Amino acid sequence: MLRKKDLLGLKDLTKEEIEDIIIRAESMKEAFVGGEMLNSLKGKCVATLFYENSTRTKNSFETAARFLGARTMSIAASNSSIQKGESLVDTGRTLDALMTDIIVIRHSMAGAPALLAQKVKASIINGGDGMNEHPTQSLLDLLTMKEKFGAIKGLKVVMVGDIKHSRVARSNLWALGKLGAETTVVAPQTLLPSNVEELGCEVSYDLEEAVVGANVVMGLRIQLERQKVGLFPTISEYGKEFAITEEKLAACPDALIMHPGPVNRGVEITSEIRDGENSVINEQVTNGVAVRMAVMDMLING
């Protein structure tokens, strides 16, 4: 059960709520890969409101909405009244007036979905807000892990990359912690958020050492502009220390390789690993549709 108007993040969900979404997503996945259209959102309207560019998240939500029988609207900041200076709240109220049932928002600023949720009637799904959360990305990661290992509890998950600026890392830290996985984050200190260990994870500066016994190694995107503001000296040095390579994974040759995309090939992960047999990066995308179907279904139908 998910008795909530909105899905703003995983930090405020219980273990049971997260597990229920995953279970619902498993049945949604059957329908999706089987090509079976559902009608649980028939007559409903889902709008995607994207203040940042996105390929997979936006299309994933729209695909999920249509599979549930909803009609969809797509508002991008770059070609809407947002360009004319319309505020977030006013844009949300416009969507309310268009009888929108669900607004999926992607925004570069943390808390934007929370602000919208306070001010509009539609259900808000956070499609990624600044450095805060990307709950459906984490849910699809969880679904992927559960499919491979049967359970999340007891898994050892290593996340490497720009943890500091990553909403995917935040959502996964919340969820994996609640579900009983052990997590380790690996990055230079400049790419770690302050007090991150208080969120219940281990911190390591050494990827080779951190992956000993790991079930999952997840790479996170390195934005090239972080180098320009001085958080690390060069991509080359970052890669030497922190890129996911075959050599660094010597201690966990069977670990599942995950990445939320888009991948900077050769920067945070080598192409060999990205395309290797342990990589589930493409399955993650399919599972994304399933969890988004589940979340929308549960917010509207309970």
Partner 1 sequence: MSILIKGGRIIDSGEIKADVYIENGKIMRVGENLDMDATTFINASGKLVMPGLVDMHCHLREPGFEHKETIESGSRAAIYGGYTSIACMPNTNPVIDNAAIARYVAMRGKEAGYARVYPIGCITKGQKGEELAEMAKMKDAGIVAVSDDGRPVMNSGIMRNALEYAKTFNLLVIDHTEDVNISADGVVNEGLNSTIAGLRGINRAAEEIGIARDIALAESLDARVHIAHVSTAGSVELIREAKARNVKITCETCPHYFSATDEEILSYNTNAKINPPLREQSDCDAIIEGIKDGTIDAIATDHAPHSADEKGKEFDLAPFGTVGFETALSLAYTYLVDTGEIDMPTLVELMSHAPSRILGLPIVHIRPGIMADIIIFDPDANWTVKAAELHGKGKNCLYDGWTLKGKVSHTIVGGELKF
Q: Which residues bind partner 1 (CB under 8 A)?
A: 11, 87-89, 107, 109-112, 114-115, 129-133, 167, 170, 193-196, 198-199
- CB of 193 vs partner 1, minimal distance in Å: 4
CA distances from 224 to 208, 227, 274 (A): 23, 6, 19
Which residue number, 163 or 295, has a Cβ lying nearer to partner 1?
163
In this structure, are residues 127 and 134 in contact, taking their beta carbons and an 8 Å threshold?
yes
Centre a 10 Å sphere on the Cβ of residue 89 and count the other Cβ atoms it contains.
Answer: 13
For 287, the 3-state DSSP assignment is helix
Which residue number, 70 or 105, has a Cβ lying nearer to partner 1?
105
- CB of 168 vs partner 1, minimal distance in Å: 11
For 154, the 3-state DSSP assignment is coil
- CB of 110 vs partner 1, minimal distance in Å: 4
Which residue number, 198 or 254, has a Cβ lying nearer to partner 1?
198
| Residue of 238, 113, 115 lying closest to 171 (CA atoms) | 113
Which residue number, 57 or 287, has a Cβ lying nearer to partner 1?
57
- CB of 98 vs partner 1, minimal distance in Å: 21
In this structure, are residues 89 and 116 in contact, taking their beta carbons and an 8 Å threshold?
yes
Going edge to edge, which strands form the sheet with 71-76? 71-76, 45-50, 102-107, 123-129
Which residue number, 141 or 297, has a Cβ lying nearer to partner 1?
141
Which residue number, 229 or 253, has a Cβ lying nearer to partner 1?
229
Which residue number, 138 or 279, has a Cβ lying nearer to partner 1?
138
- CB of 18 vs partner 1, minimal distance in Å: 17
| Residue of 259, 296, 302 lying closest to 25 (CA atoms) | 296
- CB of 234 vs partner 1, minimal distance in Å: 22
CA distances from 298 to 25, 47, 68, 72 (A): 10, 17, 12, 18
Angle 90-54-259 (CA atoms, 0-180°, nearest 5)?
135
- CB of 292 vs partner 1, minimal distance in Å: 21
